[in-house]
Structure 1
């Protein structure tokens, strides 16, 4: 979830890793689900599809875009339904709840030709509106029209128009957004969005698998299928799905991180370390340093200590990082610092019996027999925070050339 403290923490982590921000800070953008103004409730998914494409494309161009969970939390705080129509005052309150710079919202209409009954043959008119919440004035209205079967093209063109507004310095041409590899089959997009909107894991699996089968070059379903497989502890299957995320995809580093988790849980620590290092080259986040340290620890590499130190530089009060560093220091015979780190972990989590036990061993200068592992296994971070992910990208990744 996006908060000011999270953004500040991410920036601190970034600078601790030796990076400096370049250029103006990226805007924070909240994109709402577009409202279905047509009489066809079976097309409700289109509104989330438009929002999802705008989020992904703006994020890919270094804007900081609030994710679906952040949006849902803001809605919950204000007791709002995502598919409702909102007054301007409500829209402003919603954007201010997340400290957004810009708010994008809109609606769409669908119509069928005389005698036509198949919704897939409907025509769409999509209208997007923007609010500049920093200056408190309306931005431009942008409209796109076309066939539902060309939804992906309409969304990508709208994304280009949106980027021109929130980042006038952007240099990408419309051809970049309308490149064939970006355009998704409508039925695959529908299946993917229905999976996103479902709260049932079995239904999610069905919809995402259907989307992946309908359009094999559409990588978003593969990512979600990998995530579901990881949750089910089907680590080989998770690796297979995540492997389909192409290097040029904005989610590639995150997929590599998830592959590291899957390989680690499968006991393939060297492979896991390789995936974490790949992610780390692009996004030096504390979570990645921690998990790389965990893999190196299982391999018996003293370098794990350095990775844990990097993690703590960005988040000095995190109990997982304190625990892991303390355990690694104990394992390598650095008893005094092990006591310091483990004591800090216990102070923040007095109920942590494993940390208590290791602290006692460190005080007794008991590293255990040579070559043995410390009893408590290292603790992993299971995910990136998406906002921190995008903030870091905005600060270190240059604009793509036209």
Structure 2
């Protein structure tokens, strides 16, 4: 059976988006011209593994790693990227092996199968040997509708700086697709900070491995090497779940922070793991967390199933699932079960009839219809059939990402209708929310949008200064902090200045920055901590120059 294409998956979540976005759309329609100006491009991008031209098969993992990094960076830039699983589906559907390196013609066929607007293809080679290996990369962007292949986008670096190459290529790809893309290259370059290359290698080798044992072993090594590596924790948790090691899966998935963008998928599988271990209250909590962020019908349904296993009335949750996706017979069945058990035979009869229209040959549907017709609400009859609600065990990453993507588009439409100062304020709040989650490229884009809408927004300039300081661009950080202070002095702007001056060992200037901040907030903990750092550095003995023969 053909897996739904991206366009069809987008359509399948239309009812959910309609319900969530109705207030946004009504405001956007009041000013369609403004909405049109801010409407994102909505590009669907497929990144294929890069071809290994080094002649060293031990480096194949590097080619496999490019889609992972580019998908993350392009996703942060507002593009809708196609996951590894969906890419694998296209290869399977076309009868192509996993390690297939497509020609231009087959690349186009893969893109058309997945409804991609752009395909990123590339290759890498090496120079040097041993610890002096240098990676040379080139990538090209295929615009599917125009069948146009861009000129090669190139970069190179030593192997230990693989992240820099991949992030630089991602930035160049974003600029190739959207020439007006404004996020700085340095922000992309710093986005992979904190991930050890050895952990990344084991993660890529693990997710690419065909044998279950090797996948588990590689991913375990990756998580031991980098305990805060959320992507590796998620992959290992899913592998444990596939192996039916439900307690180990739950313990691993719980390590993914709730602020991480992977927390929704991790939360879904955490709920499944807890459910399969018969820990229904904990499963309900996990599903409820995911539903609070993005209430797709499969999540709301599973929250209801976990609730029903605790002998609670979950009919309200099942009704939400049915409303969001009336074409799913299992949601109708679950609502019929819940209402039947509470004695609401009229609703139960209506829902089981809807389920049977969608799936006429389901025996459980027929048995439940018989029970409802008999009007027996509490005890099984006949062969002892006792209807049980059905769990949705499949997580659709594409559906989750597409729903979030569409909501972002609707939000952009709404923001475009607001007065400039209000636009700036809301973009700034979004940027601060992204910063709190550690999503620096996303935060930068929001702060830039805020400043474009309202150049006098001092808080947006401060936010951009914080981004620049985190991405190791001290001169730009100072520039934005000073711009913010000229508009409205703030503690956070002075903190950025102090950190920049301290980094440059300009202790007198850093001390002045701290004093200015303390005038505004004498007890600010972050400022007092910086003051101690400056004092400690000023009291440290200077390094004694060594004599050279």
TM-score, with length taken from structure 1: 0.89
Equivalent pair of 1:125/1:146 in contact (CA under 8 Å) = yes
CA distance 1:344–1:145, change in 2 (3 Å): same
1:401 match: 443
Equivalent pair of 1:60/1:250 in contact (CA under 8 Å) = no
* Residue-by-residue CA offset, 1:66-87 (whole Å, 9 max, x unaligned): 1222222322344444545443
Cα distance, 1:206 vs structure 2: 0.5
The unaligned stretches of length 5 or more in structure 1 are none
* Residue-by-residue CA offset, 1:269-327 (whole Å, 9 max, x unaligned): 2322222222112212111111111122223333x212212212232121221211110
Q: 1:66 aligns with which of 82, 85, 96?
A: 82
**In 2: Cα distance, 1:229 partner to 1:84 partner:** 28
The runs of at least 4 consecutive aligned structure 1 residues that moved more than 6 Å come to none
Q: Which has the higher helix share?
A: 2
Equivalent pair of 2:80/2:402 in contact (CA under 8 Å) = yes
CA distance 1:82–1:225, change in 2 (3 Å): closer
Does 1:253 pair with 2:295?
Answer: no
Q: 1:55 aligns with which of 63, 71, 77?
A: 71
1:4 match: 7
1:138 match: 149
Equivalent pair of 1:294/1:378 in contact (CA under 8 Å) = yes
Deviates most, 267-276 or 194-203: 267-276
Cα distance, 1:171 vs structure 2: 4.0
CA distance 1:95–1:362, change in 2 (3 Å): same
CA distance 1:227–1:83, change in 2 (3 Å): closer
**In 1: Cα distance, 2:18 partner to 2:214 partner:** 42
Matched residue SS, 1:401: helix
Equivalent pair of 1:131/1:139 in contact (CA under 8 Å) = yes
1:278 match: 289
Deviates most, 176-185 or 307-316: 176-185
Cα distance, 1:34 vs structure 2: 0.5
Does 1:41 pair with 2:62?
Answer: no
* Residue-by-residue CA offset, 1:347-374 (whole Å, 9 max, x unaligned): 433443322222111111111169xxx9
Matched residue SS, 2:443: coil
* Residue-by-residue CA offset, 1:157-198 (whole Å, 9 max, x unaligned): 222222333345544333433337545322222211111111
Equivalent pair of 2:163/2:192 in contact (CA under 8 Å) = no
Cα distance, 1:41 vs structure 2: 1.1
Cα distance, 1:328 vs structure 2: 0.7
* Cα-Cα RMSD: 2.5
2:250 match: 239
Cα distance, 1:201 vs structure 2: 1.2
**In 1: Cα distance, 2:358 partner to 2:293 partner:** 31
**In 1: Cα distance, 2:77 partner to 2:337 partner:** 40
Q: Which structure's CA Rg is the greater one? A: 2
Q: Which has the higher contact order (CA 8 A, sep 6+)?
A: 1
Q: 1:216 aligns with which of 209, 227, 248?
A: 227
